[in-house]
Structure 1
Amino acid sequence: MRRLFFILHPSAFILLLVATCCSSCGLASVVGKGFEPNVKAMYSGLAGQSVGVLVWADRGIMIDWGTIQLDLANSVQSQLVASKTDETKGMTSPYPPASYVKFMRDHPGLESAPITEIAPKFGVSRVIYIEVQNFRTRSQRELELFRGEATMSLKIIEVDPSGGTRTAFTEDNIKAVFPDWAPPDGVPSIGDNKTYVGTKEAMATEIVNRLLAHESAPARGN
């Protein structure tokens, strides 16, 4: 069998190279379209502000998970501080979440007060207020299997220098699941502690995703 060899003129080689590159660019653009676009922050008023995080949890949740308020607040603050994005440029967190929890415990009469009344007492210009209405580490269908689920609401309270407040953002019925791939029946062998930590981190991520631009999560098949 004869072997055929093609000798390209330099100009022809250049044309071939350009055509190949353009073809690659076209392929890249098609592949690129498969990625979800970035999602903008729903609230973008944290930059240059002093920020505090306060979590309230239903009494029934606190009986089983007594540290959920502090744990979730710490996770939200940690994710925000670590983000280093335009939305958090110049943001400060002057007090640890434990100080807000202690303040509320030292002033039990404020528990029923609206957050807009409490926020000026914290000495910050933005208060991230989270209410946890539902939290569980076991599947609702199979109590021996593990699936973390939580439902929350979020409010951002802006405090002006005079102590006036404004509810700048609010969202209810925010859901978090851990593991995010777990079926409704749950999965075995994870354990309550690992499920608790994973669910708490998933909750923090859901909150922070409202405050920072982020990449859309890929759709999962059923």
Structure 2
Amino acid sequence: MSHSLIRSVVLVTLLTAMSCVLCGCFVPALAGAIGQNIERYKKIEVLAEYDGLDDKTVAVVIQCDPSTLYEYPSVYGTVSMNIARRLQDNVPGIKVLGFQQVMQWQYQTPSWSMLPYGEIAKELGVQRVVFVEIYEYRLHPEGNRYLWDGACAGSVGIIERDGWDPDSFAKNWDIAVKFPDVTGVGRESATESQIQMGVLAKFVDEVSWLFYRHIEDKYPDAI
């Protein structure tokens, strides 16, 4: 066998061996990366934290601080309407009082926020009240209107008209969301309506999900 032929055989053998070694390392690494990505975007089923709205008559009552209502008057109605609809569509056997009726009652009862909780449920004629108090809402970082930094925070309480203490919340939670999820987003990158829609959609999700089984991202911060 000539020397050139021997060199060719050796070279082919080495290349074949190297490719096998590389493939042997690469395939598990690739599989691991794929697995990590699958895990990263995995969805999970989450149970309701409170199922006491099932088969009940319910009103959604929203309270905003005056400064929020002055600067963003649409927030109140948007949150009220969308939470009411979400509950009606997803909670078994629920009957949600129309959000317009609730808003009309609030308008016609200027001192409604001073009433005992049980009296609010009684006046609205429902067994349960989902009481949402929005205490922070903004679209920009403080003092900088050239960046978008939306945030909405509030408390959620349940009034049980037939509970052992209707004048205290049977359950309560604090909810806080931000949109967008990254910092440094300039005004040229999005419109005010897009930021507002993103903030309120996340807030409505987090409030509504407390009351029915739903699907969430396993790692929401990774999306």
TM-score by length of 1: 0.73
Q: What is the one-letter code of the residue matched to 1:89?
A: P
SS at match of 1:108: coil
Stretches of structure 1 that go unaligned for 5 or more consecutive residues are 1-26
**2:83 aligned with 1:76:** yes
Q: Which residue of 1 aligns with 2:12?
A: none
**2:54 aligned with 1:47:** yes
Give CA deviations for 1:67-96 in whole Å, capped at 9, x if unaligned. 32221010111222233xxxx111112x31
TM-score by length of 2: 0.72
Q: Which residue of 2 aligns with 1:91?
A: 94
Q: Sequence identity, in percent? A: 20
**Alpha-carbon distance, 1:46 to partner:** 1.2
**Alpha-carbon distance, 1:166 to partner:** 5.6
Q: Which residue of 2 aligns with 1:111?
A: 113
Q: Which residue of 2 aligns with 1:177?
A: 178
**2:216 aligned with 1:209:** no
Give CA deviations for 1:27-72 in whole Å, capped at 9, x if unaligned. 9xx88x9335422211111111111111000011011112322210
Distance 1:195 1:36 in 2: 25
Q: 1:61 aligns with which of 68, 71, 82?
A: 68
Distance 1:64 1:155 in 2: 25
**Alpha-carbon distance, 1:141 to partner:** 7.0
Q: Which aligned runs of 4 or more in structure 1 are off by greater than 4 angstroms?
A: 163-166
Q: Which residue of 2 aligns with 1:122?
A: 124
Contact 2:82 2:204 in 1 (8 A): yes
Q: 2:141 aligns with which of 136, 139, 163?
A: 139
Q: What is the one-letter code of the residue matched to 1:193?
A: S
Distance 1:125 1:70 in 2: 22
**Alpha-carbon distance, 1:193 to partner:** 2.0
Q: Which residue of 2 aligns with 1:186?
A: 185
Q: What is the one-letter code of the residue matched to 1:188?
A: R
Question: Looking at CA atoms only, which structure, 1 or 2, has the larger radius of gyration?
Answer: 2
Aligned residue pairs, count: 185
Distance 1:156 1:138 in 2: 31
Matches within 5 A, 1:134-173: 134-140=136-142, 142-160=144-162, 167-172=169-174
Distance 1:152 1:176 in 2: 9
Contact 2:159 2:166 in 1 (8 A): no
Indicate the structure with greater helix content.
Answer: 2
Contact 2:61 2:131 in 1 (8 A): yes
SS at match of 1:138: coil
Stretches of structure 2 that go unaligned for 5 or more consecutive residues are 1-31
Q: Which residue of 1 aligns with 2:102?
A: 100
Contact 2:117 2:166 in 1 (8 A): no
Q: What is the one-letter code of the residue matched to 1:191?
A: T
Give CA deviations for 1:160-205 in whole Å, capped at 9, x if unaligned. 39x9566221113x101223x332x334332222222221221111
